Amino acid sequence: MQIEFSSSAPDVDERALVDESGLALAQRLAEKKARAVAKLNPGALVIGCDQTMVCNQQTFGKPGNLSAARTMLLAFGNCEAWFHSALALVSDEELQAIEVVSTRVQFRDFGSAEIDRYLALEDALDCAGGFKSEALGIALVSSIESRDPSALIGLPLIALLGMLKPYGLHPLQN
């Protein structure tokens, strides 16, 4: 997008609150991450983002290890899942804007051998549900629906550009 930026990974507890929906969790974590970075960078415009996945009414985050990734992925066969990608824009520790872009993913039916092969070839332990649509994970799905195709990768660029435009940070603005 030809916008100068730096990135930071704040130390934020990503565990869900009791009865917190996947959408609410993604939104809360995006804001919490943005506020944490903004606190260390006074005057900066900070973007926080997070993504969760919901399948069969269960919320999934990052698996963290191969065993957890395998267990998660095996549960997704023939499942309709929702990925909630949240963006929060913070300046001087004040929330300026927040948005969640949801993407529907229909996983096809697959077996454990395919999941084992996927995990042997793909490093997706830091992705919601252990699923990476921009790489080999695409072989696990039959369809994807979203108003922002970049949202499934984790950073909804269409929504982000809309948030940044009022600050004169749109790549096509003078």
Residues in the chain: 174
- Decide if 50 is catalytic: yes
Q: Which of 78, 101, 73 is nearest to 162 (CA)?
A: 101
CB 128, CB 51: distance < 8 Å:
yes
Mapped onto helix, strand or coil, the DSSP state of residue 64 is coil
Report how far residue 59's alpha carbon sits from residue 94's, in angstroms, rounded to the nearest whole number.
Answer: 28
- What is the maximum span of the chain, computed from C-alpha positions, in angstroms? 53
Inter-CA distances, 79 with 24, 75, 134, 149, Å: 21, 8, 19, 20
Report how far residue 156's alpha carbon sits from residue 87's, in angstroms, rounded to the nearest whole number.
Answer: 8
The catalytic residue among 50, 92, 116, 148 is: 50
Report how far residue 159's alpha carbon sits from residue 174's, in angstroms, rounded to the nearest whole number.
Answer: 20
Q: What is the set of active-site residues?
A: 50
